[in-house]
Structure 1
Amino acid sequence: MSLIDTMVIGQTSSLLLAALGPGTVFCDYLCYIFMFLSIATSNMVATSLAKKDEELAQHQVSMLLFVALTCGIGMFLFTKLFGTQVLTAFTGSGNYDIISAANTYAQIRGFAWPAVLVGLVAQSASLGMKDSWGPLKALAAASVINGVGDVLLCSVCGYGIAGAAWATMVSQIVAAFMMMQNLNNKGFRAFSFTIPSSSELLQIFEIAAPVFVTMTSKVAFYALLTYSATSMGAITLAAHQVMVNVLCMCTVWGEPLSQTAQSFMPQLIYGAKRNLMKARVLLKSLVMIGAITGTTVGAVGTLVPWLFPSFFTNDLMVVQQMHKVLIPYFCALLVTPSVHCLEGTLLAGRDLRFLSQSMGACFGIGAFLLMIIRNKFGSLPGCWWMLVLFQWGRFGSALQRLLSPTGMLRNENFNQNDEYVKVKAT
């Protein structure tokens, strides 16, 4: 949806295109932090269904829907009270025009926060029960609404960045309602919200806390990329906004590999029909598909901004900056689908402590080098090469863990106890 906003706004104003950088960082990256709710839902539902306990799965979904609604209301209030301050700190007080436009965008999209997080849990519950058609229909409808709304409100009515925000906000609310309705059609009580007990909150926390660290590290690194581009001027920031949104759109092609691992691996690793050999075969297949997907999506995703930059902007100076990062952009995309399937397997096996520690280490090293590149060279391509290092570091770390003789796919006693799997978060 942010890519649609970028394409439409890019045809009208380079300044508004630059403002979408901090605006989408605020909205999309904060939302991405709450992916711990999505992963906890998929993990808990898939595990409960692997144990043939549908009533437990229903109870877990109801609890997580309540947690999502609470977090969504909190984020709505946070956006209203502190949105301007956060954007000012991120962008710099000297960029008043960018701050004003970005804040308009963020404030309007903030109305959708409760629906976005509730829809995220509903979507993950469907995926955890291996139903992908319902979420597909909801997101397809939302994309159409967003695209048509952007064209009407921005290009025809001339509402600019505010029109893009309204179109995205409405499409997200529609998608959330359709996700909830799909759960109802599958026999779940989607509009049943249950307040979790303290012990149930602890259970959610044990899964969610390491995932939160993982997601926060990932989001923080992407935010640092945009922060670095912000200091290089509006033209460079506009070019970065286009490339990072195209990158995010292309990386989505690897997410099904992660979701497949999270949906099918639990029953093979610690389900009623446990079979580690089949789990290893599944992982091998996922990695091979990831390599093919990365090569294909990387090639296509690089050719579009290279040969058809007018899809995003007609400003030749912005286009020149875009072309400078095409090589590191391709190298980052190449490995991303494989990273998703490896990390999805670690999530399915609840090797969460290692995953959070590994991601934290990648973030720490990458952020340190990124700041050096930014301060000494002020080079956007240099910053993007740090993204390449970050992605390949995640790949190497996860692959080494899964190939280890003591890892979850080779050690029969890995993370096993009377309650299946229980990870203590630190």
Structure 2
Amino acid sequence: MLENKSLWSQIKEIIMFTGPATGLWISAPLMSLIDTAVIGQGSSIELAALGPGTVLCDYMSYVFMFLSVATSNMVATSLARKDKKEVQRYISVLLFVGLTIGFCMLFFTKVFGTRALTAFAGPNNAHIIPAANKYIQIRGLAWPAVLVGWVAQSASLGMKDSWGPLKALAVASSVKIVGDIVLCIVLGYGIVGAAWATMVSQVISAYMMVNSLNKTEYNAYAISIPSSSDLLTIFQIAAPVFIMMMSKVAFYVLIIYFATNMGTYTVAAHQVMIQMYSMCTVVGEPLAQAAQSFMPELLCGINKNLPKARMLLKSLVTIGVALGLLLGIFGTSVPWLLPNVFTSDQNVIKQMHRVLVPYFFALAVTPPTLSLEGTLLAGRDLRFVSLSMSGCFSLGAVMLMLVSSGGYGLLGLWFALLGFQWARFFLSLQRLLSPNGMLHSQDWSKYKPEKLKAV
């Protein structure tokens, strides 16, 4: 119980939780990064095709992260209130919602995948559409498993269990690596082999994630159709989070869109840098998850303690700053010193090296930003989270259009990303330091979901 622990004890507890949780968050971008490295050795066209392909697989999946956040938030809050029946009901209902959305996305990929790729890549990149379409059609088969696995994983994290899901992803990642070696390197299937390896590993991961949750005192196989009141509760939490996630994803998609229209070498370079960036930034996601798992008991549980909540935030930000600097150094060193890991094309490498400065500073600020946003989500200050993120997206989109039309190239796009990240940091920090914020106000009822219908 964190309310009885000192600052350094809290930091130790957070590290023990976030250490295994880091493996959970790094798994998906690591798989795409492995695809990038393997495919880049064989074909620049297939490497470029991964750009729009991963948008419809990885970045589109981030749109549904609201389901993961809602699950973790609802489970952790119910546990803070010692209401186990409510925990089981939320798990059963959210598993049904995840499965339903997963099948809808499978249908969308099969029917509209090619059109979405063509619209996104543009007429100048028609030559990469066939390879990208093969990639998304195979990856799309795993959509139901992916979303069910996310719900199971988030429920476990809401219970402060990060080891069980980590074991599942360790097995799935091993399957992915072996699959890439056999299908891509040995058999030479290229982008198709990478897609099959990723799809199979995601299905295995989902099954083991659900099985891990089922070993707790809750039944992970009891799927229930939600009632109208359940749907309303989920919507009141998920809708602002959805706006937040959509704004973030849409901004990254816009960057890829503008980069795609700058030519094959530019989009190939951006594919490498954005995959490396994604893999590094998700290392900070466990800090947001730690805030959502540990903060509710201090903000609204039976052991409510706002001074300890402020101390917990200090611990999270301290770890975030240190982690951000480490990620910035590591994330910049790899494409700077070892670019041949991804590609041997000197035109692509030259484009990669141009964006290293904004790339470093954007990486460095991400972990402390995620710790602040995770605290806002834990306290259900959802209206502010959704409005601030949509505001950052709007200003960022204008900046992207200006630098793109101004001919600033890939460097201009990455400076726009830098501004987007730092704006998120300062807005969240100001909100939490406000005397009327959740960490200083005793009236937590104004942050309850029923107050957020207008959102």
TM-score, length of structure 1 as denominator length: 0.98
Summarize the alignment of residues 283-298 of structure 1 with structure 2, pairs less than 5 Å apart.
283-298=313-328
Structure 2 residue matching 1:377: 3-state secondary structure: coil
Is the counterpart of residue 334 in structure 1 residue 360 in structure 2?
A: no
Summarize the alignment of residues 9-408 of structure 1 with structure 2, pairs less than 5 Å apart.
9-408=39-438
Letter in 1 for 2:241: V
In structure 1, what is the equivalent of residue 10 of structure 2?
none
Tell me how far 1:343 sits from its aligned partner.
0.3
Instruction: Name stretches of at least 5 consecutive residues in structure 1 with no aligned partner.
Output: none
Aligned length: 425
Distance 1:331 1:71 in 2: 36
TM-score, length of structure 2 as denominator length: 0.92
Distance 1:350 1:423 in 2: 10
Larger CA deviation: 374-383 vs 280-289: 374-383
Letter in 1 for 2:402: I
CA change 1:425–1:344 in 2 (3 A) is: farther
- Tell me which stretches of 4 or more aligned residues in structure 1 moved more than 6 Å: none
Tell me how far 1:94 sits from its aligned partner.
3.2
CA change 1:424–1:350 in 2 (3 A) is: same
CA contact (8 A) 1:350 1:421 kept: no
Distance 2:408 2:172 in 1: 38
CA contact (8 A) 2:241 2:386 kept: yes
Letter in 2 for 1:10: G
Tell me how far 1:43 sits from its aligned partner.
0.3
Deviations 1:174-196 (A, max 9, x none): 00001000011112211111000
Letter in 1 for 2:416: M
Larger CA deviation: 309-318 vs 398-407: 309-318
Deviations 1:280-321 (A, max 9, x none): 000011101100000011101100110011111111111111
Distance 1:138 1:280 in 2: 34
Distance 1:420 1:108 in 2: 38
In structure 2, what is the equivalent of residue 423 of structure 1?
452
Distance 1:411 1:9 in 2: 53
Same amino acid, percent of matched pairs: 63
Distance 1:17 1:151 in 2: 17
CA contact (8 A) 2:75 2:159 kept: yes
Letter in 2 for 1:296: L
CA contact (8 A) 2:233 2:449 kept: no
Distance 1:301 1:85 in 2: 34
CA change 1:190–1:34 in 2 (3 A) is: same
CA contact (8 A) 1:209 1:425 kept: no
Distance 1:191 1:414 in 2: 34
Distance 1:186 1:127 in 2: 12
CA contact (8 A) 1:415 1:421 kept: no
Letter in 1 for 2:266: T
Deviations 1:80-137 (A, max 9, x none): 0100111101001332221111111011000000000000000000000000001111
Structure 2 residue matching 1:196: 3-state secondary structure: coil
CA contact (8 A) 1:4 1:146 kept: no
Tell me how far 1:270 sits from its aligned partner.
0.6
Distance 1:236 1:176 in 2: 35
Distance 1:186 1:305 in 2: 42
Larger CA deviation: 263-272 vs 136-145: 136-145
Instruction: Name stretches of at least 5 consecutive residues in structure 2 with no aligned partner.
Output: 1-30
Distance 2:454 2:80 in 1: 24
Deviations 1:222-255 (A, max 9, x none): 0011001101101110000000000000011101
In structure 1, what is the equivalent of residue 16 of structure 2?
none
CA contact (8 A) 1:206 1:425 kept: no
